[in-house]
Amino acid sequence: MGERLRVGVVTPLDEELCRLVEQLEPRVEMVRDQELLPPVRYPADHHGEASFVRDAGQQQRFEDVIAGADALYGIPGEDPGTLRRAVEANPGLRWVHTMAAGGGAQVKAAGLSGEQLARVTFTTSAGVHSGPLAEYALLGLLAGAKNVPRLQADAARHEWPHRWLMGQLREQTVLVVGLGGIGREVARILAAFGTRVIGTSRRGEPVDGVSEIVHPGELAAVVGRVDGIVVTLPGTAATAKLVSAEVLAAVRPGATLVNVGRGTVVDEDALVDALRDGRIGFAALDVFAVEPLDPASPLWDLPNVLISPHNATLTPAEGRRIAELFAENATRLLDGRPLRNVVDTVEFY
Q: Which of 16, 88, 291, 347 is catalytic?
A: 291
Give the separation between CA 346 and CA 156, rounded to whole angstroms: 51
Q: 257, 229 in Cβ contact below 8 A?
A: yes
Does the annotation mark 332 as catalytic? no
The helix (H) or strand (E) run that includes residue 97 is: strand 95-97
Measured CA distances, 103 to 56, 308, 320 (Å): 29, 20, 18
Distance of CA 262 to the CA centre of its chain: 7
Half-sphere exposure of 279 (CA within 13 A, CB side): 15
Does the annotation mark 291 as catalytic? yes
Give the separation between CA 260 and CA 3, rounded to whole angstroms: 39
Does the annotation mark 129 as catalytic? no
The helix (H) or strand (E) run that includes residue 56 is: helix 56-67
- Helices 130-145, 148-156: crossing angle, 10 deg rounding: 60
Q: Which of 54, 310, 321, 340 is catalytic?
A: 310
Q: Which residues are catalytic?
A: 262, 291, 310
